[in-house]
């Protein structure tokens, strides 16, 4: 059944139980007094920003937004972009879109103004719903974005080029719209990117969304008594579909803003969280803080915390060994997936398989996996090939891109572009990636975008960006730069030039050297990785 039916069920069965909490421990709650008054209050006495909604209110908000869309002429197949930070409005807006039969199109909140415009055009979105943090980025191209599109603003002080969400939904009905939706209808578009760095629009049916939700609940045995702590952004398939385990179970979830070790442990303690999904850097930071004595486990209420799981990037087995030393009672799981497979879980380790830490695991609920050579033939156990997955969560296509779709979808199998091997016990290990995407702190970074930017510097002759192993982030970006003959350049000059890049795209290391290219003119990145010690340490640990 479509995932909206889980929401409607929860609203009927558990109307007054808390569904979502928005928590920002580092923000003062301005609803209680004025900012001027807050300046007179000692930092230890203010209330952290916290909001919550019940399942009935969640469903009513989704219905109001759905009815607003229908009043504005939105119909099945229309596309509604969502560009917001995590907040209590995010998921009701997402489900409001789904209830109309329209297609939800979450935007990465790291997109700059031009990327927003590009993705809006690529996915042919009919409306953009955005939050206050994005006023500037929307305003830059407001004239282009508003042509044939409605811009809806979620927040205070609505800009002149948009309409106010709060005012628009105030008088809308809270009753469910009478729209028949099946699992075969289109439900969402997510964005990915290939080696060129240009986003692809990934089209999914409602079947994919339902599969992801039911799989998450099953993999982690999410029950009514559980509370899920969600820290990553909801535009990300990982965050949203891990949360959907709580949707299926009818249990509480907390949207936490902030990823400092104390912030995470305090949220787990105060909100009685039992399931926490972390990225490698956050888990690493918690362990480091405990090692230094900055935090003490006994200062927090953590006995209800039963599961810590990690996704979005390879996990060093040494990290989990350290984690189990501090939290021996924790179950652990890791999840592998792509936006093309509706996020995490098409391969997962399984809580019962902690002895296989280092593997990404086995096929997930209702999934099949195979590893093939360049001819598409199965490879023997222990041999390396390309990982392929098949199941009800595979995308329909790359929207309006038949060529790219044909390259990765073959006879129902999704060719992931990731190189893997399978051990005699049937557990899959990632070895390398076909693509040169750098995964740093759970975020994909596309080297060609940084390379194209750096080539604009008048002193640079050639450049290659690679990932170097990093204990905290998994990988960090390094730019190998070849300077034009007769010129001199400093690291400081490059760093200053890169200030025009988004912070997460700025190279963390600058190396001045010649760029090796092969006979066809391609940069020999494997050689560069070997030269600068960039061999993936996680892969080495996994294969050990």
Report pLDDT digits (tens) over 530-544. 888 744 433 333 333
* Rounded Cα–Cα distance for residues 257 and 231 (Å): 6
pTM of the model: 0.82
CA distances from 481 to 33, 104, 450, 510 (A): 53, 41, 12, 7
Fold adopted by 307-433: Luciferase; domain 3 (2.30.38)
* Rounded Cα–Cα distance for residues 391 and 25 (Å): 40
Which residues in 433-467 are b (16+ Cβ under 10 Å) and which e? Answer: bebbbbbbbbbbbbbbbbbebbeebeebebbbbbb
Direct distance between the N- and C-terminal alpha carbons of the chain, in angstroms, rounded to an integer: 43
CATH class of 442-543: alpha beta
Q: Which of 69, 95, 90 is nearest to 4 (CA)?
A: 95
Cβ partners under 8 Å of residue 510, min gap 6: 478, 479, 481, 491, 494, 495
pLDDT in tens, the chain (544 residues): 999 999 999 999 999 999 999 998 877 554 443 333 333 333 344 456 899 999 999 999 999 999 999 999 999 999 999 999 999 999 999 999 999 999 999 999 988 899 999 999 999 999 999 999 999 999 999 999 998 899 999 999 999 999 999 999 999 999 999 999 999 999 999 998 543 457 899 999 999 999 999 999 999 999 999 999 999 999 988 889 999 999 999 999 999 998 899 999 999 999 999 999 998 878 888 998 999 899 999 999 999 999 999 876 667 787 899 999 999 999 999 999 999 999 889 999 999 998 998 899 999 999 999 999 989 999 999 998 899 999 999 999 999 999 999 999 999 999 998 888 999 999 999 876 666 778 888 777 878 778 878 988 989 888 999 999 888 888 899 999 999 888 899 999 999 999 999 888 899 999 999 988 754 446 778 788 888 874 443 333 333 3
* Rounded Cα–Cα distance for residues 164 and 488 (Å): 53
DSSP state of 409: E
- Contact call for residues 235 and 109 (beta carbons, < 8 A): yes
Q: What are phi and psi of 515, to 5 degrees?
A: -100, 115
* Rounded Cα–Cα distance for residues 102 and 67 (Å): 12
The secondary element (H helix, E strand) that includes residue 23 is: strand 18-28
420 DSSP β-pair partners = 385, 430
- Contact call for residues 264 and 286 (beta carbons, < 8 A): yes
CATH for 4-258, options being 3.20.20.20, 3.40.50.12780, 3.30.70.660, 3.40.50.1360: 3.40.50.12780
Which residues in 132-159 are b (16+ Cβ under 10 Å) and which e? Answer: eebbebbbeebeebeeebbbbbbbeebb
- Other CB atoms within 10 Å distance of the CB of residue 69: 29
155: left (phi over 0), alpha (psi -120 to 50) or beta: left
* Rounded Cα–Cα distance for residues 23 and 127 (Å): 28
Beta strands 18-28 and 307-311, pairing class: unpaired
Strands annotated E in 121-245: 127-130, 150-153, 163-164, 186-193, 199-205, 227-230
- Contact call for residues 417 and 434 (beta carbons, < 8 A): yes
Q: Is 268 helix (H, G, I), strand (E, B) or coil?
A: helix
Q: Which residue has the tokens 């969280």?
A: 273
Beta strands 252-256 and 18-28, pairing class: parallel
Indicate the domain borders of the chain: 4-258, 307-433, 442-543
Cβ partners under 8 Å of residue 346, min gap 6: 336, 337, 338, 363, 364, 367, 369, 389, 391, 393
């Amino acid at each position: 059944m479509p995932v909206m039916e889980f929401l409607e069920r929860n609203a009927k069965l558990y109307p007054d139980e808390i569904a979502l909490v928005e928590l920002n421990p580092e923000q003062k709650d301005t609803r209680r007094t004025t900012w001027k008054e807050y300046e007179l209050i000692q930092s230890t006495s203010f209330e952290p920003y916290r909001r919550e909604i019940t399942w009935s209110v969640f469903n009513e908000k989704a219905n109001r937004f759905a009815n607003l869309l229908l009043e504005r002429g939105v119909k099945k197949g229309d596309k509604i972009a969502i560009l917001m930070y995590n907040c209590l409005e995010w998921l009701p807006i997402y489900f409001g879109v789904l209830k109309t039969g329209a297609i939800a199109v979450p935007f990465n909140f790291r997109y700059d103004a031009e990327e927003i415009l590009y993705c809006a055009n690529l996915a042919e979105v009919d409306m953009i719903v955005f939050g206050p943090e994005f006023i500037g980025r929307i305003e830059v191209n407001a004239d282009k974005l508003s042509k044939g599109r409605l811009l809806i603003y979620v927040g205070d002080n609505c800009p002149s080029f948009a309409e106010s969400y709060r005012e628009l939904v105030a008088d809308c009905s809270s009753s469910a719209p009478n729209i028949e939706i099946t699992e075969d209808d289109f439900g969402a578009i997510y964005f990915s990117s290939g080696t060129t760095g240009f986003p692809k629009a990934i089209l999914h049916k409602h079947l994919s969304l339902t599969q992801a939700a039911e799989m998450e609940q099953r993999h982690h045995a999410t029950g009514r008594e559980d509370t899920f702590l969600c820290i990553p952004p909801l535009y990300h398939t990982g965050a949203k579909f891990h949360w959907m385990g709580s949707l299926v179970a009818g249990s509480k979830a907390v949207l936490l803003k902030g990823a400092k070790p104390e912030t995470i442990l305090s949220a787990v303690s105060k909100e009685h969280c039992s399931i926490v999904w972390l990225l490698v850097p956050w888990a690493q930071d918690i362990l480091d803080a405990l090692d230094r004595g900055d935090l003490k486990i006994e200062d927090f209420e953590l006995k209800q915390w039963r599961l810590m799981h990690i996704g979005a990037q390879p996990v060093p087995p040494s990290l989990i060994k350290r984690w189990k030393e501090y939290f021996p009672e924790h179950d652990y799981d890791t999840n592998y997936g792509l936006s093309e497979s509706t996020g995490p879980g098409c391969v997962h380790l399984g809580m019962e398989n902690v002895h296989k830490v280092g593997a990404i695991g086995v096929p997930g609920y209702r999934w099949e996996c195979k590893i093939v050579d360049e001819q598409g033939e199965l490879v023997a156990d222990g041999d390396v090939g390309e990982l392929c997955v098949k199941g009800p969560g595979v995308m329909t296509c790359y929207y309006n891109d038949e060529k790219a779709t044909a390259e990765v979808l073959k006879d129902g199998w999704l060719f992931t572009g990731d190189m893997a091997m399978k051990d005699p016990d049937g557990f899959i290990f990632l070895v390398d990636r076909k693509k040169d995407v750098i995964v740093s702190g759970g975020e994909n970074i596309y080297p060609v975008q940084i390379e194209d930017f750096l080539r604009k510097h008048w002193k640079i002759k050639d450049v290659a960006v690679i990932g170097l192993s990093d204990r905290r982030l998994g990988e960090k970006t390094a730019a190998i730069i070849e300077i034009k003959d007769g010129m001199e350049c400093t690291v400081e000059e490059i760093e200053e030039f890169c200030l025009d890049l988004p912070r997460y795209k700025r190279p963390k290391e600058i190396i001045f050297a010649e760029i090796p290219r092969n006979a066809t003119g391609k940069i020999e990145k494997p050689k560069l990785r070997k030269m600068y010690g960039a061999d993936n340490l996680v892969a080495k640990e996994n294969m050990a």
